Amino acid sequence: MIRFNAVIALATSYLCLFSFAANGQDRFANVTIETIPVVGNISMLVGQGGNIGVSAGSDGILIIDDQFAPLAGRIKAAIMELGSDTPKFLLNTHFHGDHTGGNADFGADSVIVAHENVRLRMVAGDQPAVALPVVTYDDDVSIHFNGESITLIHMPRGHTDTDSVVYFEDSNVIHMGDHFFNGGFPFVDLVNGGTVQGYLNNLEKVLSWIGDDTSVIPGHGSLASKSDLMNFYNVVRDTSVEIRIKKSQRMSVEDIVGEGLSPGYESWGQGFIDEEAWIQTVFNSYPR
Ligand SMILES: [Zn+2]
């Protein structure tokens, strides 16, 4: 139970840190929103929290995720530069507060689209009605906007049980949500329906769909390519196998943490999920 509680504590601290901003708005005081061109009419906005995808064109603005509520004004200023401060559509890759925090600010004027479990978990979290997705789906849905098909595809039981990736068919861009932490171990939210095996299965599907020239927007980290996503997948898979082998040899999680992963993964534990947290996640995600 100690191990199980550790994971709950980890998940809780994550949600507090990113959803509820325990220290108020001060931590956002110095955040600026940087606009990074991706390809054609697609951009990525980087501030604090999950990376935002933007389609800007003759139909207007569509955004993917909206970081934290205190940043909504700065996000609106950034998309105003791309054509309008009022998106017609807001897509959520999943329900975490560092990706949906601005929903209450955008929801009055934008149609919010997300997997049905995003809505269910936001309702369970007492989010106001204005912040909730109004269009939901179970497997996938396409939005025909700015001259191309923009498709949300559900990624079952991976990062959470609410996730989708968003594929821009003509632009050949994919927004991965938190199925991609570029350069770091991922957070897999076991308390909210995530599993490491589902996460790997989902990454395999995406890697089979996209090409070498696909632009890949990660949930966290810098703009990437298929080979970056492949590197990430290899690290998640290889470290998971290492941890599972030790678990099958009846090693305790404490002993596996004490022994550490093979050399070469040090840089991957420098982000939000350090090596110990990753080992605990994998250990707890697989049955004995
Ligand atoms: Zn997340």
For 77-110, how does the pLDDT look when each residue is reduced to its tens digit (9 = 90+)?
999 999 999 999 999 999 999 999 999 999 999 9
Query: Measured between alpha carbons, how far is 102 from 79 in angstroms, rounded to an integer?
Result: 14
Query: Measured between alpha carbons, how far is 115 from 140 in angstroms, rounded to an integer?
Result: 8
Q: How far is the CA of 94 from the centre of ligand 1 (A)?
A: 7
For 254-271, the pLDDT digits (tens) are 999 999 999 999 999 999
Exposure string for 48-86, b = 16+ CB within 10 A, e = fewer = bbbbbbbbbbeebbbbbbbbbbbbbebbbebbeebbebe
Residue 86: predicted pLDDT? 98
Angle between the N-to-C axes of helices 196-209 and 275-285, in degrees from 0 to 180, rounded to the nearest 10: 100
Q: Across-strand partners of 37?
A: 43
Residue 287: predicted pLDDT? 86
What the block records as the tokens of 183 is: 């350069």
Quick one: average pLDDT of 233-249? 98
Q: How far is the CA of 3 from the centre of ligand 1 (A)?
A: 21
Q: How far is the CA of 275 from the centre of ligand 1 (A)?
A: 18
Percent pLDDT > 70 in the chain is 91
**How would residue 15 be classed by pLDDT, with cut points 50, 70 and 90?**
very low
Strand 52-57 relative to strand 60-64: parallel, antiparallel, unpaired? antiparallel
Decide if pLDDT at 58 tops 70: yes
Q: Contacts by 266-269 with C-beta closer than 8 Å and gap 24+?
A: 267/183, 268/183, 268/184, 268/185, 268/235, 268/239, 269/184, 269/185
Q: How far is the CA of 18 from the centre of ligand 1 (A)?
A: 9
Residue 56 CB partners (closer than 8 Å, separation 6+): 41, 43, 79, 82, 83, 146
The answer to whether 216 touches 180, Cβ cutoff 8 Å, is yes
Q: How far is the CA of 100 from the centre of ligand 1 (A)?
A: 10
The answer to whether 190 touches 6, Cβ cutoff 8 Å, is no
Q: How far is the CA of 249 from the centre of ligand 1 (A)?
A: 32
Residue 4: predicted pLDDT? 40
Q: How far is the CA of 68 from the centre of ligand 1 (A)?
A: 12
Q: How far is the CA of 78 from the centre of ligand 1 (A)?
A: 23
Report the predicted TM-score, pTM, of the whole model to 2 decimal places: 0.92
Please give the mean pLDDT across all residues of the chain: 93
For 180-229, the pLDDT digits (tens) are 999 999 999 999 999 999 999 999 999 999 999 999 999 999 999 999 99
Residue 26: predicted pLDDT? 81
Q: How far is the CA of 28 from the centre of ligand 1 (A)?
A: 18
What does the DSSP 8-state code read for residue 140?
Answer: E
Q: How far is the CA of 32 from the centre of ligand 1 (A)?
A: 21
Which of 130, 129, 131, 149 has its CA nearest to residue 140? 149
* Higher-confidence position of 22 and 251: 251
Which of 33, 69, 39 has its CA nearest to residue 51? 33
Which of 237, 233, 239 has its CA nearest to residue 206? 233
CA atoms within 13 A on the CB side of 73: 4
Q: How far is the CA of 163 from the centre of ligand 1 (A)?
A: 9
Q: How far is the CA of 288 from the centre of ligand 1 (A)?
A: 26
Sheet holding 60-64, edge to edge: 34-39, 42-46, 52-57, 60-64, 89-91, 111-115, 135-137
Residue 24: predicted pLDDT? 53
**CATH superfamily label, 2-225:** Ribonuclease Z/Hydroxyacylglutathione hydrolase-like (3.60.15.10)
